[in-house]
Amino acid sequence: MPRYLVTGCAGFIGSTLTDALLAEGSEIVGVDAFTDYYDRSAKEAALAPAREHSSFSLIEHDLSGGVPEDALEGVEGIFHLAARPGVRASWGAGFEAYVSDNILASHAVADAAGDRGIRLVFASSSSIYGDALAYPTPEDTPPSPISPYGVTKLACEHLLNAHARDSGLEHVALRYFTVYGPRQRPDMAFSRLVAALVGGSEFEIYGDGSQSRDFTFVADAAAATIAAMRNGPIGATYNVGGGSESTLRDVVALVEELAGRTLNVCYGERAAGDVKRTLADTSRIRSEIGWEPHTDLRSGLGSQLAAAGALASSGG
Ligand code: NAD
Ligand code: UGA
Protein backbone atom coordinates (compact mmCIF):
# COMPACT_ATOMS: atom_id res chain seq x y z
CA MET A 1 0.00 0.00 0.00
CA PRO A 2 1.34 3.50 -0.82
CA ARG A 3 2.57 5.57 2.12
CA TYR A 4 1.98 9.33 2.10
CA LEU A 5 2.75 12.27 4.34
CA VAL A 6 -0.18 14.65 4.92
CA THR A 7 0.80 17.98 6.49
CA GLY A 8 -1.99 19.81 8.25
CA CYS A 9 -3.70 16.44 8.83
CA ALA A 10 -5.77 17.77 11.76
CA GLY A 11 -7.23 20.63 9.72
CA PHE A 12 -10.52 20.91 7.87
CA ILE A 13 -9.35 19.76 4.43
CA GLY A 14 -6.31 17.77 5.66
CA SER A 15 -8.38 15.53 7.93
CA THR A 16 -10.94 14.91 5.17
CA LEU A 17 -8.14 14.04 2.74
CA THR A 18 -6.52 11.76 5.34
CA ASP A 19 -9.78 9.86 5.85
CA ALA A 20 -10.24 9.47 2.08
CA LEU A 21 -6.70 8.14 1.63
CA LEU A 22 -7.05 5.71 4.54
CA ALA A 23 -10.36 4.48 3.11
CA GLU A 24 -8.53 3.71 -0.16
CA GLY A 25 -5.99 1.59 1.72
CA SER A 26 -3.07 4.05 1.87
CA GLU A 27 -0.78 4.31 4.85
CA ILE A 28 -0.61 7.85 6.24
CA VAL A 29 1.83 9.67 8.42
CA GLY A 30 0.27 12.96 9.47
CA VAL A 31 2.09 16.04 10.70
CA ASP A 32 0.31 18.88 12.45
CA ALA A 33 1.37 21.54 14.96
CA PHE A 34 -2.17 22.19 16.25
CA THR A 35 -1.58 25.91 15.81
CA ASP A 36 -3.73 28.41 17.69
CA TYR A 37 -5.59 29.75 14.63
CA TYR A 38 -8.62 27.97 16.06
CA ASP A 39 -9.40 25.63 18.92
CA ARG A 40 -7.44 22.44 19.31
CA SER A 41 -10.60 20.57 20.29
CA ALA A 42 -12.05 21.06 16.78
CA LYS A 43 -8.86 19.63 15.25
CA GLU A 44 -8.84 16.69 17.66
CA ALA A 45 -12.45 15.94 16.72
CA ALA A 46 -11.60 16.10 13.00
CA LEU A 47 -8.66 13.76 13.50
CA ALA A 48 -10.49 11.25 15.71
CA PRO A 49 -11.53 8.82 12.91
CA ALA A 50 -7.97 8.69 11.52
CA ARG A 51 -6.52 8.07 14.96
CA GLU A 52 -8.67 4.94 15.19
CA HIS A 53 -7.05 3.58 12.03
CA SER A 54 -4.08 1.20 12.28
CA SER A 55 -2.53 2.66 9.08
CA PHE A 56 -2.34 6.18 10.54
CA SER A 57 0.37 7.71 12.69
CA LEU A 58 0.66 11.30 13.91
CA ILE A 59 3.70 13.46 14.51
CA GLU A 60 2.96 16.71 16.32
CA HIS A 61 5.49 19.13 14.92
CA ASP A 62 5.90 22.71 13.66
CA LEU A 63 7.12 22.48 10.05
CA SER A 64 8.54 26.00 9.98
CA GLY A 65 11.63 24.53 11.69
CA GLY A 66 12.02 21.65 9.20
CA VAL A 67 10.46 18.26 8.47
CA PRO A 68 11.21 15.46 10.95
CA GLU A 69 13.16 12.59 9.42
CA ASP A 70 10.70 9.93 10.65
CA ALA A 71 7.85 11.71 8.81
CA LEU A 72 9.61 11.04 5.49
CA GLU A 73 10.52 7.38 5.90
CA GLY A 74 9.17 5.27 3.03
CA VAL A 75 6.92 8.09 1.83
CA GLU A 76 6.15 8.25 -1.90
CA GLY A 77 4.26 11.53 -1.86
CA ILE A 78 3.63 14.57 0.33
CA PHE A 79 0.30 16.36 0.48
CA HIS A 80 1.26 19.77 1.86
CA LEU A 81 -1.84 21.37 3.37
CA ALA A 82 -0.39 22.79 6.60
CA ALA A 83 -0.76 26.56 6.62
CA ARG A 84 -2.25 29.52 8.40
CA PRO A 85 -5.43 30.03 6.36
CA GLY A 86 -7.95 32.85 6.37
CA VAL A 87 -7.89 36.12 4.52
CA ARG A 88 -9.14 38.51 7.16
CA ALA A 89 -6.74 37.68 10.04
CA SER A 90 -3.66 38.14 7.89
CA TRP A 91 -3.45 41.91 8.34
CA GLY A 92 -1.47 43.64 11.07
CA ALA A 93 0.47 41.75 13.73
CA GLY A 94 -1.14 38.48 12.66
CA PHE A 95 1.01 38.46 9.53
CA GLU A 96 4.09 37.08 11.28
CA ALA A 97 2.40 33.72 11.81
CA TYR A 98 1.47 33.63 8.09
CA VAL A 99 5.10 34.09 7.15
CA SER A 100 6.11 31.26 9.48
CA ASP A 101 3.31 28.74 8.84
CA ASN A 102 3.07 29.39 5.11
CA ILE A 103 6.39 30.59 3.71
CA LEU A 104 8.92 29.08 6.15
CA ALA A 105 7.03 25.79 6.50
CA SER A 106 6.59 25.41 2.71
CA HIS A 107 10.28 26.16 2.17
CA ALA A 108 11.16 23.36 4.63
CA VAL A 109 8.74 20.91 3.03
CA ALA A 110 10.05 21.74 -0.47
CA ASP A 111 13.63 21.21 0.77
CA ALA A 112 12.77 17.81 2.21
CA ALA A 113 10.79 16.67 -0.86
CA GLY A 114 13.31 17.99 -3.42
CA ASP A 115 16.32 16.40 -1.70
CA ARG A 116 14.67 12.98 -1.56
CA GLY A 117 12.84 13.04 -4.91
CA ILE A 118 9.43 12.84 -3.20
CA ARG A 119 6.46 14.10 -5.19
CA LEU A 120 4.61 17.03 -3.62
CA VAL A 121 1.05 18.32 -3.99
CA PHE A 122 0.63 21.83 -2.60
CA ALA A 123 -2.62 23.42 -1.39
CA SER A 124 -2.66 26.91 -2.90
CA SER A 125 -5.59 29.25 -3.04
CA SER A 126 -7.94 31.23 -5.28
CA SER A 127 -6.84 34.24 -3.21
CA ILE A 128 -3.70 34.53 -5.37
CA TYR A 129 -5.91 36.00 -8.15
CA GLY A 130 -7.26 38.87 -6.04
CA ASP A 131 -10.06 40.64 -7.88
CA ALA A 132 -9.33 38.55 -10.95
CA LEU A 133 -8.77 40.02 -14.38
CA ALA A 134 -11.07 37.41 -16.01
CA TYR A 135 -14.14 35.32 -15.05
CA PRO A 136 -14.23 32.36 -15.16
CA THR A 137 -10.57 32.62 -14.17
CA PRO A 138 -8.09 30.35 -15.98
CA GLU A 139 -4.78 29.43 -14.31
CA ASP A 140 -2.70 31.68 -16.56
CA THR A 141 -4.53 34.83 -15.39
CA PRO A 142 -1.89 37.18 -13.93
CA PRO A 143 -1.97 36.78 -10.13
CA SER A 144 -2.66 39.87 -8.08
CA PRO A 145 -3.49 39.01 -4.46
CA ILE A 146 -5.19 41.71 -2.38
CA SER A 147 -4.63 40.18 1.08
CA PRO A 148 -1.41 39.41 2.97
CA TYR A 149 -2.60 35.78 3.16
CA GLY A 150 -2.94 35.64 -0.64
CA VAL A 151 0.54 37.11 -0.98
CA THR A 152 1.99 34.29 1.17
CA LYS A 153 0.19 31.60 -0.86
CA LEU A 154 1.52 33.11 -4.11
CA ALA A 155 5.00 33.32 -2.54
CA CYS A 156 4.73 29.59 -1.74
CA GLU A 157 3.89 28.79 -5.36
CA HIS A 158 6.95 30.77 -6.50
CA LEU A 159 9.10 29.08 -3.84
CA LEU A 160 8.11 25.64 -5.11
CA ASN A 161 8.95 26.68 -8.67
CA ALA A 162 12.36 27.92 -7.50
CA HIS A 163 12.97 24.60 -5.71
CA ALA A 164 11.91 22.74 -8.86
CA ARG A 165 14.60 24.53 -10.88
CA ASP A 166 17.22 24.00 -8.20
CA SER A 167 16.62 20.46 -6.90
CA GLY A 168 14.28 19.04 -9.52
CA LEU A 169 11.39 19.04 -7.02
CA GLU A 170 8.36 17.38 -8.62
CA HIS A 171 5.25 19.23 -7.57
CA VAL A 172 1.67 20.08 -8.49
CA ALA A 173 -0.08 23.19 -7.12
CA LEU A 174 -3.84 23.23 -6.57
CA ARG A 175 -5.73 26.49 -6.17
CA TYR A 176 -8.74 25.61 -4.03
CA PHE A 177 -11.77 27.91 -4.24
CA THR A 178 -13.59 28.52 -0.90
CA VAL A 179 -14.03 24.99 0.44
CA TYR A 180 -16.99 24.07 2.65
CA GLY A 181 -18.64 21.03 4.22
CA PRO A 182 -18.47 19.12 7.52
CA ARG A 183 -15.48 20.15 9.73
CA GLN A 184 -15.25 23.56 8.06
CA ARG A 185 -13.04 26.01 10.02
CA PRO A 186 -14.98 28.06 12.58
CA ASP A 187 -13.89 31.40 11.06
CA MET A 188 -15.46 30.62 7.67
CA ALA A 189 -18.84 31.92 6.51
CA PHE A 190 -20.82 28.66 6.39
CA SER A 191 -19.57 27.54 9.82
CA ARG A 192 -20.72 30.84 11.25
CA LEU A 193 -24.05 30.58 9.47
CA VAL A 194 -24.58 27.13 10.95
CA ALA A 195 -23.51 28.30 14.42
CA ALA A 196 -25.99 31.19 14.19
CA LEU A 197 -28.73 28.81 13.15
CA VAL A 198 -28.04 26.32 15.94
CA GLY A 199 -27.36 28.91 18.67
CA GLY A 200 -29.96 31.48 17.62
CA SER A 201 -27.27 34.16 17.38
CA GLU A 202 -26.74 36.80 14.67
CA PHE A 203 -24.85 36.09 11.46
CA GLU A 204 -22.92 39.15 10.36
CA ILE A 205 -22.47 39.65 6.63
CA TYR A 206 -19.34 41.64 5.81
CA GLY A 207 -20.49 44.23 3.28
CA ASP A 208 -23.79 44.03 1.40
CA GLY A 209 -23.74 40.28 0.74
CA SER A 210 -23.39 40.67 -3.02
CA GLN A 211 -19.89 39.13 -2.98
CA SER A 212 -19.85 35.70 -4.57
CA ARG A 213 -17.70 32.60 -4.29
CA ASP A 214 -17.21 29.48 -6.39
CA PHE A 215 -17.94 27.26 -3.38
CA THR A 216 -16.25 23.84 -3.43
CA PHE A 217 -17.39 20.83 -1.42
CA VAL A 218 -14.62 19.37 0.71
CA ALA A 219 -14.92 15.78 -0.60
CA ASP A 220 -14.52 17.12 -4.15
CA ALA A 221 -11.43 19.10 -3.07
CA ALA A 222 -9.96 15.95 -1.47
CA ALA A 223 -10.65 13.91 -4.63
CA ALA A 224 -8.90 16.55 -6.78
CA THR A 225 -5.92 16.44 -4.44
CA ILE A 226 -5.58 12.67 -4.69
CA ALA A 227 -5.99 12.81 -8.49
CA ALA A 228 -3.24 15.45 -8.66
CA MET A 229 -0.86 13.18 -6.71
CA ARG A 230 -1.59 10.21 -8.95
CA ASN A 231 -1.91 11.82 -12.38
CA GLY A 232 -0.84 15.47 -12.26
CA PRO A 233 1.98 16.29 -14.68
CA ILE A 234 5.10 17.63 -12.92
CA GLY A 235 4.95 21.41 -12.48
CA ALA A 236 1.21 21.67 -13.23
CA THR A 237 -1.08 24.20 -11.55
CA TYR A 238 -4.82 23.59 -11.37
CA ASN A 239 -7.88 25.48 -10.21
CA VAL A 240 -10.14 23.39 -7.97
CA GLY A 241 -13.56 25.04 -8.09
CA GLY A 242 -16.91 23.49 -7.23
CA GLY A 243 -18.85 25.16 -10.07
CA SER A 244 -21.35 26.55 -7.54
CA GLU A 245 -20.90 30.31 -7.70
CA SER A 246 -23.32 32.00 -5.34
CA THR A 247 -23.62 35.32 -3.55
CA LEU A 248 -23.68 35.36 0.23
CA ARG A 249 -27.26 36.65 0.17
CA ASP A 250 -28.30 33.65 -1.94
CA VAL A 251 -26.47 31.32 0.45
CA VAL A 252 -28.42 32.76 3.39
CA ALA A 253 -31.69 32.18 1.51
CA LEU A 254 -30.68 28.59 0.69
CA VAL A 255 -29.73 27.87 4.32
CA GLU A 256 -33.07 29.24 5.48
CA GLU A 257 -34.89 27.06 2.96
CA LEU A 258 -32.94 23.90 3.91
CA ALA A 259 -33.27 24.49 7.65
CA GLY A 260 -36.88 25.65 7.47
CA ARG A 261 -36.06 28.64 9.66
CA THR A 262 -35.21 32.30 9.31
CA LEU A 263 -31.72 33.46 10.12
CA ASN A 264 -30.96 36.50 12.19
CA VAL A 265 -28.75 38.46 9.76
CA CYS A 266 -27.00 41.79 10.24
CA TYR A 267 -24.72 43.75 7.95
CA GLY A 268 -21.28 45.11 8.86
CA GLU A 269 -18.26 46.62 7.17
CA ARG A 270 -16.80 44.95 4.09
CA ALA A 271 -13.71 42.99 5.22
CA ALA A 272 -10.23 44.14 4.18
CA GLY A 273 -8.72 41.86 1.55
CA ASP A 274 -12.08 40.31 0.67
CA VAL A 275 -12.40 39.76 -3.09
CA LYS A 276 -15.69 40.63 -4.74
CA ARG A 277 -16.02 37.48 -6.76
CA THR A 278 -14.39 34.11 -7.51
CA LEU A 279 -15.21 31.72 -10.33
CA ALA A 280 -12.77 29.05 -11.43
CA ASP A 281 -12.19 28.01 -15.00
CA THR A 282 -11.70 24.28 -14.39
CA SER A 283 -11.20 23.17 -17.99
CA ARG A 284 -7.52 22.39 -17.42
CA ILE A 285 -7.96 19.97 -14.51
CA ARG A 286 -10.95 18.36 -16.23
CA SER A 287 -9.07 17.67 -19.44
CA GLU A 288 -5.63 16.83 -18.01
CA ILE A 289 -6.45 14.65 -15.00
CA GLY A 290 -10.14 13.98 -15.40
CA TRP A 291 -11.32 15.59 -12.15
CA GLU A 292 -14.67 17.32 -11.91
CA PRO A 293 -16.80 18.39 -8.94
CA HIS A 294 -19.75 16.16 -8.05
CA THR A 295 -21.48 18.05 -5.23
CA ASP A 296 -23.63 21.10 -5.86
CA LEU A 297 -24.21 23.81 -3.27
CA ARG A 298 -27.64 22.57 -2.22
CA SER A 299 -26.53 19.04 -1.39
CA GLY A 300 -23.14 20.12 0.03
CA LEU A 301 -24.76 22.68 2.32
CA GLY A 302 -27.30 20.02 3.29
CA SER A 303 -24.41 17.77 4.38
CA GLN A 304 -22.81 20.56 6.42
CA LEU A 305 -26.11 21.43 8.10
CA ALA A 306 -26.87 17.76 8.79
CA ALA A 307 -23.42 17.21 10.34
CA ALA A 308 -24.14 20.13 12.68
CA GLY A 309 -27.63 18.87 13.51
CA ALA A 310 -29.16 21.97 11.95
CA LEU A 311 -31.61 20.49 9.46
CA ALA A 312 -35.35 20.86 9.98
CA SER A 313 -35.76 17.06 9.73
CA SER A 314 -33.11 16.55 12.45
CA GLY A 315 -35.21 18.66 14.80
CA GLY A 316 -32.39 21.22 15.20
P1 NAD B 1 -6.98 24.42 8.66
O2 NAD B 1 -6.46 25.56 9.49
O3 NAD B 1 -8.21 23.74 9.11
O4 NAD B 1 -5.83 23.33 8.50
C5 NAD B 1 -4.45 23.66 8.47
C6 NAD B 1 -3.72 22.77 9.48
O7 NAD B 1 -2.32 23.03 9.38
C8 NAD B 1 -4.13 23.05 10.94
O9 NAD B 1 -4.56 21.85 11.57
C10 NAD B 1 -2.86 23.61 11.57
O11 NAD B 1 -2.70 23.24 12.93
C12 NAD B 1 -1.77 23.04 10.68
N13 NAD B 1 -0.55 23.88 10.64
C14 NAD B 1 -0.50 25.22 10.46
N15 NAD B 1 0.77 25.64 10.51
C16 NAD B 1 1.54 24.56 10.74
C17 NAD B 1 2.94 24.37 10.90
N18 NAD B 1 3.80 25.40 10.87
N19 NAD B 1 3.41 23.11 11.11
C20 NAD B 1 2.54 22.06 11.17
N21 NAD B 1 1.20 22.18 11.03
C22 NAD B 1 0.71 23.42 10.82
O23 NAD B 1 -7.16 24.99 7.18
P24 NAD B 1 -7.91 24.39 5.90
O25 NAD B 1 -9.07 25.25 5.62
O26 NAD B 1 -8.10 22.92 6.06
O27 NAD B 1 -6.83 24.66 4.77
C28 NAD B 1 -5.91 23.65 4.37
C29 NAD B 1 -5.03 24.21 3.25
O30 NAD B 1 -5.81 24.58 2.14
C31 NAD B 1 -4.24 25.46 3.63
O32 NAD B 1 -2.98 25.38 3.00
C33 NAD B 1 -5.06 26.60 3.06
O34 NAD B 1 -4.25 27.72 2.78
C35 NAD B 1 -5.56 25.94 1.79
N36 NAD B 1 -6.82 26.52 1.29
C37 NAD B 1 -7.98 26.38 2.03
C38 NAD B 1 -9.18 26.89 1.51
C39 NAD B 1 -10.49 26.77 2.25
O40 NAD B 1 -11.49 27.25 1.72
N41 NAD B 1 -10.54 26.13 3.41
C42 NAD B 1 -9.19 27.52 0.25
C43 NAD B 1 -7.99 27.68 -0.44
C44 NAD B 1 -6.81 27.14 0.08
C1 UGA C 1 -11.68 30.98 1.93
C2 UGA C 1 -10.66 30.43 2.95
O3 UGA C 1 -10.98 30.90 4.26
C4 UGA C 1 -9.26 30.84 2.61
O5 UGA C 1 -8.36 30.15 3.48
C6 UGA C 1 -9.01 30.46 1.20
O7 UGA C 1 -7.73 30.67 0.79
C8 UGA C 1 -10.01 31.14 0.28
O9 UGA C 1 -11.30 30.67 0.63
C10 UGA C 1 -9.77 30.78 -1.16
O11 UGA C 1 -10.68 30.37 -1.86
O12 UGA C 1 -8.65 30.92 -1.61
P13 UGA C 1 -13.18 33.13 1.88
O14 UGA C 1 -13.61 33.10 0.46
O15 UGA C 1 -13.03 34.43 2.56
O16 UGA C 1 -11.78 32.38 2.08
O17 UGA C 1 -14.19 32.15 2.66
P18 UGA C 1 -15.23 32.41 3.83
O19 UGA C 1 -14.51 32.70 5.09
O20 UGA C 1 -16.17 31.26 3.85
O21 UGA C 1 -15.98 33.75 3.39
C22 UGA C 1 -16.84 33.79 2.26
C23 UGA C 1 -17.47 35.17 2.19
O24 UGA C 1 -18.31 35.35 3.34
C25 UGA C 1 -16.45 36.31 2.22
O26 UGA C 1 -16.87 37.34 1.37
C27 UGA C 1 -16.48 36.79 3.67
O28 UGA C 1 -16.16 38.15 3.85
C29 UGA C 1 -17.93 36.53 4.04
N30 UGA C 1 -18.13 36.32 5.50
C31 UGA C 1 -17.39 35.42 6.17
C32 UGA C 1 -19.10 37.05 6.15
O33 UGA C 1 -19.79 37.88 5.53
N34 UGA C 1 -19.31 36.84 7.47
C35 UGA C 1 -18.58 35.94 8.20
O36 UGA C 1 -18.81 35.79 9.42
C37 UGA C 1 -17.59 35.21 7.52
Residue 118 DSSP class: -
Judge if 112 and 22 occupy the same domain: yes
Query: Which residues have a Cβ under 8 Å from the Cβ of 47 and sit 6 or more positions away?
Result: 9, 10, 15, 18, 30, 32, 58
Judge if 111 and 47 occupy the same domain: yes
**pLDDT by 10-residue block (mean), the chain, 316 residues:** 98 99 98 98 98 98 98 98 97 97 98 98 98 98 98 98 97 98 98 95 98 98 98 98 97 97 96 98 98 98 95 53
- Closest ligand to Cα 246: 2
Containing structural domain, residue 265: 189-210+245-277+296-308
pLDDT at position 311: 82
What are the residue numbers of the active site? 149
Q: For residue 179, give the 3-state DSSP assignment.
A: strand
Query: Which residues have a Cβ under 8 Å from the Cβ of 77 and sit 6 or more positions away?
Result: 2, 4, 5, 118, 119, 120, 121, 229
pLDDT at position 274: 98
Work out the number of other CB atoms within 10 angstroms of the CB of residue 185: 20
Q: Is the CB of 128 under 6 A from ligand 1?
A: no
Distance in angstroms (rounded) separating the CA atoms of residues 29 and 295: 28
Judge if 17 and 39 occupy the same domain: yes
Judge if 132 and 194 occupy the same domain: no
Question: What's the burial of 136, exposed, middle or buried (CB within 10 Å: 0-12/13-18/19+)?
Answer: middle
Q: Whose alpha carbon is nearest atom 33 of ligand 1? A: 85
Distance in angstroms (rounded) separating the CA atoms of residues 238 and 217: 16
* CATH code of the domain containing 51: 3.40.50.720
Q: Please, what is the Cα angle at 279 between 274 and 284, to 5 degrees?
A: 130
Comparing CA positions, the residue from 6, 45, 8, 12 lying closest to residue 24 is: 6
Judge if 154 and 164 occupy the same domain: yes
User: Does residue 172 sit within a domain?
Assistant: yes
User: Does residue 231 sit within a domain?
Assistant: yes
Structurally, the chain folds into a number of domains equal to 2
User: Does residue 39 sit within a domain?
Assistant: yes
Q: Is the CB of 34 under 6 A from ligand 2?
A: no
Q: Which helix (H) or strand (E) holds 307?
A: helix 297-307
Q: Whose alpha carbon is nearest atom 18 of ligand 1? A: 101
Judge if 170 and 234 occupy the same domain: yes
pLDDT at position 313: 54
Question: Within 13 Å, how many C-alpha atoms sit on residue 288's CB side?
Answer: 20
User: Does residue 271 sit within a domain?
Assistant: yes
Ligand 2 atom nearest the C-alpha of 209 is 33
Judge if 203 and 137 occupy the same domain: no
